[in-house]
A and B are shown apart, each in its own frame.
Chain A
Amino acid sequence: MSENSEKKKTRFAWGELFAFYRGEFTRLYVSLAATLGSSAMVLLIPLVVGYLVDDVLLNQGASVLPAIFGRFFGHIGDRAYLLQNLWVFGAIILGLYALDGMFSYLNNARITRFAETGALNMRLRLFSHLQRLPFAYHKQAQTGDLVQRCTTDVDQIRRFFQMQLSEMVRCLALVVIATVMMFRLDTKMALVAIASTPILFVSSWIYFKKRRYAFRVWDEAEGVISTVLQENITGVRVVRAFDRTDFEIEKFAVHNNALNRVAKEQFRIMGDFWMASDLLAFSQLAAVIIVGAIEAIDGNISLGTLLIFISYSENLIFPLRGLARLLADAGKMQISFDRLKEILDEKPEPGDEDLLDPVLKGQVEFDRVDFAYPDDPRPVLKDVSFDIRPGQTLGILGPTGSGKSSLLQLLQRLYEPTNGSIRFDGIPATEISRESLRRQIGLILQEPFVYSRTIMENIRMPRPQASDTDVKNQAKTARLHREIQQFEDGYETMVGERGVTLSGGQKQRLTIARALIRTCPIIVFDDSLSAVDMETDREIRRAMRRSGGSITTFIVSHRISTLMHADRIIVLSEGKVAESGTHGTLLENNGLYRRVYDIQRAYLEEDA
């Protein structure tokens, strides 16, 4: 191994990997022991054949086999008896095969259970870990890459344990047992029979390295193809409008041909290696047969011994040929687990089940709150204070990047303030469990997300026991009901990734309905009314007032019409409360609010 990979190997977290297999190790040991058993059975058969040939068929009487064979067969009968009843040997071989089969079944069944249990544990752990990772992590997460790790990499590890580990042990067992046995039988022949094994090891290693490089080249060529294809599809309008289809076809052909060459090169390398190792392995077999024949003619070894050597040589060829692949697979497994570990090493939100779970009335107080994102020293909120009584509405206005979303996300403890405190009904937020807050505060995010389920299930998600009528009522409140009814399957229409694609406004209203299905004392709109037109916006707010009673509401918007009726409006700028008051007092203030109002006024007047 090169220096680099050796270093990597010492750092590989075997302990963490094996933790996923806790309680399953007996299965692993049984399985590996069964592999040994199976290898032993396979290597016993040539010995039986050897005994049959030397001691029964030819009666050379010079058996080099361990004395136990002679004693064993002596119990069954003498040579004449055995010669009359050759079926005994058939039965013994059949018996050995049956034992081999049992061992092999035991090995495979146990190792499958071992590998699959580990994979199951990994999947479960990954999923729940990902769910528990903080908001900040998911804000920058690359979905495609993460899914790839959770599926392909877990599979790589599973395959390693299910197939390749046993194969490695089997390969090792065969080589060791056969070598020991052969040296016991005849030193000279044994040397001939293992002469090329070290060379095979070395050439496997060289091939493993060389192939890795060729594979990277292949991978890159495929990446280029992907890019050309993707650019062509996304730019189809440009391609057509410039009448460049022929040009595009030629361009693609160039890269497609390049991939063709690279891929064929890969197979050429593979072919060369396999040819070389076949040449070695079968030359060795030839050497065993020829040297063995000479030795047998010279009377140095018995015919049975020769047959044993030939069988053993053949038994070793296949595992040795597969060595290079096994090396590569072990390397891949480690890389895969390292990639999983990167996810698992991320810190999840701390557990806080022991904190309070008060019934919130809806009073919210920000007391000199400062906030900065965990990995970024720049302050996002500075010294923000306000106090909202139950049932009141707080409107928030501010330019992009002024900290509006961050402020709202603090409410659900998706982040924690760096300084100052937030209190609900006088209780500091840090003393209330996240679960309690998230259950009682309906937060509608700026970017709506719908699950791959039916519309009905989507709306019902936060409150599984909600009745169909409940769901429909909330859809009505969110002004979505009529559109849903126009779908062929109505509320049973599948939406999300694998269903009907909803428009931005429809998604937004679906998430509003979903937030309203719970009777939360606090509802928070993070600019989520901006994707619906003003009329709908007004209707939703009106409907909420009618049904709500005393819900404390936070609304971020840049529409004055949305904000003007709020009990209190704050204007955020650069993370600070620049202005605060009611619509009336803010207008008199002649600040930012007033300027936005002036711009929008023309429209407002017409609207009223």
Chain B
Amino acid sequence: MSQREDIDYSEHFSTDTWSRFFRLAKPLKKQFVHLFIVMAWVAVFDNIAPLMTRFAIDYFIAENTKDGLVLYGIGFAVVVLMQALGTKFFLKVAGGIEVEIGHQIRDEGYRKLQSLSFSYYDKTPVGWILSRLIADTSRLAEVVAWSLVDIFWGGASIIAIMVMLLVMDWSLALLSLLIVPVLFVVAILFQRLLLKVQRDIRRENSKLTGEFNEGIMGARTTKTLHREKKNTEEFRETATRLYGYSLRAGRLSAMFLPIISLLGAVAAAVVLTVGGQRMEQGLLQLGTLYAFFIYTMRLWEPIRHIARVFRDLQSAQAAAERVMALLAEQSDLTDDPDVLARYGNKDGEGREPWPAIDGRITFDNVTFAYKSNEIILDRFNLDIKAGETIALVGDTGAGKSTIVNLLCRFYEPTKGRILIDDADYRERPLSWLYSNLGYVLQTPHLFSGTIADNIRYGKLDATDDDIERAAKLVSAHDFIMRHENGYATEVGEGGGRLSTGEKQLISFARAVIADPSFFLLDEATASIDTETEHAVQQAIETIRRGRTMIVVAHRLSTIRNADRILVIHDGRIVEEGTHDTLLEQKGRYADLYRMQFMQESYDELDFSARANQPDMGS
């Protein structure tokens, strides 16, 4: 979809995105502080070894004494222990931050998804949402956590080294620290160059992935069109461009380290020369000179860490933007605050109890458009009596599903009102209507878990007896018992281990156990075997007793049994009546009916043809 086109590279560092992100991460403030403390600790102990060496040289060796060596050994052991503990804690805290950021974004994103309206789901592919909350979130959490480590450690290291140098010999320290600003400037310049190439790399990489994707998905078509060579040539262009950019990036980063460490070495060489002279003059001890030398040689390392942060953040920026976009989505379907105060989100939570439902539905001059310029329903009127069964028939796109969507309040009318028992449903909370809906989809959707879990979804406090009763009511009990584990049978991801017919019966049981006032059925078009088909029919007959039922009809038998059939065309009711009266009219319904009959007969012919010739294969 065009509005969801993914851009895996972004042009500029966006402070806005990151400040929004850190606002989001506010609850983790304490952990950030912890990380800062731990990283300072780690930085200090990481840089303490030269001081220990200095002490050994300037004290024990210079004085030629072993006095206090045991104490020194103990002290050193403590230092080593501190350093090791620092390592453990820093991994714990930084890892904790990574985990918590991921946890929190997923949690928040998931909650957001539960509140978003169907207009969002209709225009957003499942895969897109999944990548945001799985891949992007992990990447973001990782980059942020370890960038903080880099920045804190780098900052603390520089400060620690500076302090040690200044304390040991401030004038020599100032001389050697002259190199620090130079290092910073060079490091940042390099990172900017690298950033540019890496952006190119990411762009080409995302193109390359797209081309692989298409090359594989379209391979059969490509073959029939005889385009293999041409496609490969086009692919070669992208791959070669990527290659070129990668080599450039490789050369740049190969240059970066030598240059920056050479700059560090300049400072070390100066220290060695000047410090050596001072030592000759007796102004400096050998151990101190050695420590100075080591420290100045190490200066570039923390600077490199800090410079790297901006590059990493930028590379994760696209992920951050997409995740933030998801979290910032606004639902266009929410309860009015007054309504919520009056009735509450659950029965009994508000000032008044939820009104009981009789089952009348009225569409009062309802106009609806998914997109502002495409009107699906225009001043649509419809009255449904309590307990009536209505069948909606018509071509794809005629507006049947829209009517069901509006009735379920998955969408709300653009203009006009929908009344339930004579009251506009917008004057009731969303969950009031939802908890009174029984909804069975064209493609039945089950959740991972057991059959019992799935039926219980309709009524969370249902007992095992309730579940069995519901299953029996829709003739699902027998097939369930045929499974080895009965009600405890795992249905697999999305119910994948069950047949379509079985899934459908379970979704009926799930709806029945909820005991809804309204029953909506989007009938399956996929053919199921005759036995299950029969069971499904019986289930429908059982369910519709005493309930208002609306069927988007595909099956002839359901159509015949409806109290009223509405033929929908272009968002209008063009014919209305019972099966028999409509057939007599010889209008659109008669046509549709014949077409369906034709299709169904042909399907049966398939079966009979197969049955007639049982000598199939081996």
A58 within 8 A of B: yes
Question: What CA separation (Å) do A604 and B482 show in the bound complex?
Answer: 45
Question: What CA separation (Å) do A136 and B64 show in the bound complex?
Answer: 83
Chain A residues, CB < 8 A from B341: none
Q: Give A226 Cβ to nearest chain B Cβ, in Å.
A: 6
Question: What CA separation (Å) do A226 and B138 show in the bound complex?
Answer: 12
Question: What CA separation (Å) do A146 and B216 show in the bound complex?
Answer: 8
Chain A residues, CB < 8 A from B272: 49, 52, 86, 89-90, 93
Q: Check A94/B218 contact, CB under 8 A, given A127-B212, A242-B434, A290-B73.
A: no
Question: What CA separation (Å) do A101 and B231 show in the bound complex?
Answer: 43
Question: What CA separation (Å) do A190 and B134 show in the bound complex?
Answer: 50
Which residue of A109, A124, A270, A307 is within 8 Å of B91 (Cβ)?
A270
B254 within 8 A of A: yes
Binary contact track B46-88/A, C-beta < 8 Å → 1, others 0: 0001001100110011001110010011001101110111011
Stretch with Cβ within 8 A of B (4 or more), from A199-207, A273-281, A326-334, A562-570: A273-281
| Contact between A120 and B130, CB atoms less than 8 A apart | no
Q: Give B178 Cβ to nearest chain A Cβ, in Å.
A: 15
Question: What CA separation (Å) do A108 and B261 show in the bound complex?
Answer: 15
B606 within 8 A of A: yes
| Contact between B243 and A462, CB atoms less than 8 A apart | no
| Contact between B92 and A268, CB atoms less than 8 A apart | yes
Question: What CA separation (Å) do A297 and B564 show in the bound complex?
Answer: 107
| Contact between A253 and B84, CB atoms less than 8 A apart | no
Chain B residues, CB < 8 A from A237: 118, 410, 439, 441, 445
Which residue of B102, B121, B218 is within 8 Å of A449 (Cβ)?
B218
B609 within 8 A of A: yes
Which residue of B80, B286, B431 is within 8 Å of A283 (Cβ)?
B80
Q: Check A147/B209 contact, CB under 8 A, given A226-B130, A266-B95.
A: yes
Question: What CA separation (Å) do A261 and B247 show in the bound complex?
Answer: 41
A338 within 8 A of B: no
Question: What CA separation (Å) do A604 and B107 show in the bound complex?
Answer: 58
Q: Check A131/B222 contact, CB under 8 A, given A272-B88, A289-B76.
A: yes
Interface of A is mostly: helix
Question: What CA separation (Å) do A225 and B130 show in the bound complex?
Answer: 10
Chain B residues, CB < 8 A from A52: 272, 276
A406 within 8 A of B: no
| Contact between A105 and B247, CB atoms less than 8 A apart | no
Instruction: Give the one of B73, B114, B231, B255 with max A CB within 10 A.
Output: B114
Question: What CA separation (Å) do A283 and B434 show in the bound complex?
Answer: 66
Which residue of B85, B102, B597, B605 is within 8 Å of A595 (Cβ)?
B605
Which residue of B61, B79, B113, B253 is within 8 Å of A233 (Cβ)?
B113
| Contact between A294 and B66, CB atoms less than 8 A apart | yes
| Contact between B618 and A278, CB atoms less than 8 A apart | no
Interface size class of A (residues with CB under 8 A): 35 or more
Q: Give A589 Cβ to nearest chain B Cβ, in Å.
A: 15
A588 within 8 A of B: no
Instruction: Give the one of A94, A271, A294, A378 with max B CB within 10 A.
Output: A271
B214 within 8 A of A: yes
Instruction: Give the one of B91, B279, B594 with max A CB within 10 A.
Output: B91
Q: Give A304 Cβ to nearest chain B Cβ, in Å.
A: 10
Question: What CA separation (Å) do A52 and B271 show in the bound complex?
Answer: 13
Chain A residues, CB < 8 A from B79: 282, 286
Per the 8 Å Cβ criterion, residues 118-142 of A in contact with B are 119-120, 123-124, 126-128, 130-133, 135, 138-139, 141
| Contact between B250 and A271, CB atoms less than 8 A apart | no
| Contact between A494 and B598, CB atoms less than 8 A apart | no
| Contact between B254 and A232, CB atoms less than 8 A apart | no
Q: Check A241/B273 contact, CB under 8 A, given A113-B247, A270-B95, A573-B609.
A: no
Q: How many residues of B contact A (CB 8 A)?
A: 147
| Contact between B601 and A141, CB atoms less than 8 A apart | no
Question: What CA separation (Å) do A256 and B225 show in the bound complex?
Answer: 47
Least CB separation from A267: chain B residue:
B95
Stretch with Cβ within 8 A of A (4 or more), from B234-242, B463-471, B553-561: B234-242
| Contact between A275 and B85, CB atoms less than 8 A apart | yes
A102 within 8 A of B: yes
Chain B residues, CB < 8 A from A253: 107
A404 within 8 A of B: no
Question: What CA separation (Å) do A57 and B224 show in the bound complex?
Answer: 82
Chain A residues, CB < 8 A from B253: 108
Which residue of B60, B92, B247 is within 8 Å of A297 (Cβ)?
B60
| Contact between A445 and B56, CB atoms less than 8 A apart | no
Binary contact track B468-505/A, C-beta < 8 Å → 1, others 0: 00000000000000000000000001100000000000
| Contact between B434 and A112, CB atoms less than 8 A apart | no
Chain A residues, CB < 8 A from B460: 247
B536 within 8 A of A: no
Which residue of B210, B277, B447 is within 8 Å of A235 (Cβ)?
B447
Binary contact track A209-230/B, C-beta < 8 Å → 1, others 0: 0000000000000100111111
Q: Give A415 Cβ to nearest chain B Cβ, in Å.
A: 11
A608 within 8 A of B: no
Chain B residues, CB < 8 A from A603: 594-595, 598
Q: Give B467 Cβ to nearest chain A Cβ, in Å.
A: 15
Contact sample, A vs B, 10 pairs, CB 8 Å cutoff: A49-B272, A93-B265, A247-B457, A282-B79, A293-B56, A293-B61, A445-B220, A574-B610, A574-B615, A599-B602
Interface of B toward A, CB cutoff 8 Å:
1-2, 5, 49, 52-53, 56-57, 60-61, 64-66, 69, 72-73, 76-77, 79-81, 83-85, 87-89, 91-92, 94-96, 98-100, 102-103, 106-107, 110-111, 113-115, 118, 121, 126, 129-130, 133-134, 138, 205, 208-228, 230-232, 235-236, 239-240, 242-243, 246-247, 250-251, 253-255, 257-259, 261-262, 265-266, 268-270, 272-273, 276-277, 279-280, 286, 290, 293, 408, 410, 431, 434-435, 437-439, 441, 445-448, 457-458, 460, 493-494, 507, 510, 514, 520, 591, 594-595, 597-598, 601-602, 605-606, 609-610, 613, 615-618
Give 7 closest A-B pairs by Cβ, nearest first. Answer: A267-B95, A101-B258, A112-B250, A90-B269, A108-B254, A378-B617, A241-B439
